[in-house]
């Protein structure tokens, strides 16, 4: 699937047009306050471009999951509208509804360059305390209604592009013109460069808890990469497949046969850890180190110092590195060393293209202070993971192709 043949902002005319923009304002909140506005910042280039081009900009986003009327009280986009107005330096009119006369009138009275933000699109998932999932299940009537509010649709929410929702696929289906925004365009270019057209040697690093989460990625990448370094909880299922003792470490017993098969067909491309940082409990206590076999009552929570050395060595000379998933329980300081060391090894590479495929590894790299040291850190965990699996992304697929 060549997503780089989809229409971009440069391919559409937006002057005097009502442009519906699906953004990703799914920001973390604590006590009603935004704790990290990265996603708002990431949307600014597309919003500013459309304003400059004389569009009437209508923004749609979800915020969290809505399963009851109670959820709506804490998941309003009003606070996001205020932050956006501040960082944009321009008035943003928040409309506290997802449909209806007030919204329609506000859009009808817009002048070129003005911005409206709708209420949380997932408010459409619950009505009168009934879960109806109109947004999440791409209800055609809702997609058609939202499409009727504008002339052009722009998808700039890469983080939701692996889902078929009314606010992306639904609108795209019923609107005359559609394109990807600047953030999505950049995401697609970077993912294509890292995964579809890599400079060699090409090394993938996979971590995280479960083999089952990464099976599609291993399947898709095994024929493309020169090496796959595996860390995190998922490594222990591979150890079990090799007959090693793993103590009380995370194990997916139903994936042992799958892990064996990968090891057989990998022709030495899969590089596993050779030691572990362990604890007797799932807590931030001081680590004890063991080799390939762990005693009873001990769980592996990070790669050990010998593995760090091995992975550093395996990365030497790499020209493309794609990383998805931390090497250990990186939120515990005693078990963040593997993730930190891998991040340091990647960013020290000269003339290499380095990409983090969103999710926990992206959060860990940013928390550890490496935000600006990678070629690209994806904004979409699930979407970038599915791209790495070679799956179709419905939110992008529905956008019109260039002529």
- Indicate which residues carry an active-site annotation: 39, 210, 359, 382
Structure tokens of 19? Answer: 């442009």
Summarize the chain as % helix, strand, coil (round to 5). 40, 20, 40
Q: Which residues are annotated as a binding site?
A: 24-26, 39, 62-65, 122, 163, 214, 300, 331, 358-361
Q: Which residues are annotated as a binding site for (2R)-3-phosphoglycerate?
A: 39, 122, 163
Q: Which residues pair with 354 in a beta bridge?
A: 321
- Closest Cα partner for 322 from 200, 160, 186? 200
Structure tokens of 167? Answer: 């606010």
Tokens 């209800």 sit on residue:
139
Q: Which residues are annotated as a binding site for substrate?
A: 24-26, 39, 62-65, 122, 163
What is 10-38 written as a DSSP string? GGS--TT-EEEEE------EETTEES--H
State the Cα angle at 351 between 221 and 189, rounded to 5°: 50
What CA dihedral angle connects 137, 215, 159 and 205, to 10 degrees? Answer: 170
Burial 70-95 (b: 16+ CB within 10 A, else e): ebeeebbbebbbebbbeebeeebebb
Give the Cα separation of 219 and 283 in Å (integer): 33
CB 298 within 8 Å of CB 277: no
């Amino acid at each position: 699937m060549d997503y780089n043949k989809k229409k971009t902002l440069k391919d559409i005319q937006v002057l005097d047009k009502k442009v519906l923009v699906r953004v990703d304002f799914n920001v973390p909140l604590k006590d009603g306050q935004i704790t990290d506005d990265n996603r708002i910042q990431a949307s600014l280039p597309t919003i500013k471009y459309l304003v400059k081009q004389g569009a009437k900009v209508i923004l749609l986003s979800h915020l969290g999951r809505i399963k009851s009327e109670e959820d709506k009280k804490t998941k309003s986009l009003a606070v996001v509208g205020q932050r956006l107005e501040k960082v944009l330096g321009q008035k943003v009119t928040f409309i506290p509804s997802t449909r209806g006369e007030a919204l329609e009138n506000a859009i009808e009275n817009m002048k070129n360059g003005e911005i409206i933000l709708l209420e949380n699109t997932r408010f459409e998932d619950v009505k009168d305390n009934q879960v109806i999932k109109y947004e999440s299940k791409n209800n055609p009537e809702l997609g058609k209604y939202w499409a009727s509010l504008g002339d052009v649709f722009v998808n700039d929410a890469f983080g939701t592009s692996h889902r078929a929702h009314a606010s992306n696929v639904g609108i795209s289906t019923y609107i005359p013109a559609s394109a990807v925004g600047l953030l999505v365009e950049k995401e697609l270019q970077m993912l294509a460069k890292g995964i579809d057209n890599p400079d060699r040697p090409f090394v993938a690093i996979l971590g995280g808890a479960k083999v089952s989460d990464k099976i599609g990625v291993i399947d898709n990448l095994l024929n493309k990469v020169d090496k796959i370094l595996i860390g995190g909880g998922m490594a222990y299922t591979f150890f079990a497949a090799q007959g090693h003792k793993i103590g009380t470490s995370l194990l997916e017993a139903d994936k042992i046969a799958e892990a064996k098969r990968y090891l057989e067909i990998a022709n030495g491309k899969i590089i596993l850890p050779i030691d572990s940082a362990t604890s007797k409990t799932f807590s931030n206590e001081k680590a004890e180190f063991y080799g390939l076999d762990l005693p009873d009552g001990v769980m592996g929570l990070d790669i050990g110092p010998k593995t760090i050395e091995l992975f550093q060595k395996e990365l030497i000379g790499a020209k493309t590195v794609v990383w998805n998933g931390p090497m250990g329980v990186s939120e515990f300081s005693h078990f963040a060393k593997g993730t930190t060391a891998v991040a340091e090894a990647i960013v020290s590479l000269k003339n290499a293209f380095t990409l983090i495929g969103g999710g926990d590894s992206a959060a860990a790299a940013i928390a550890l202070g490496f935000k600006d040291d990678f070629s690209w850190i994806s904004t979409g965990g699930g979407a970038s993971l599915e791209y790495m699996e070679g799956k179709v992304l419905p939110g992008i697929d529905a956008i019109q192709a260039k002529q």
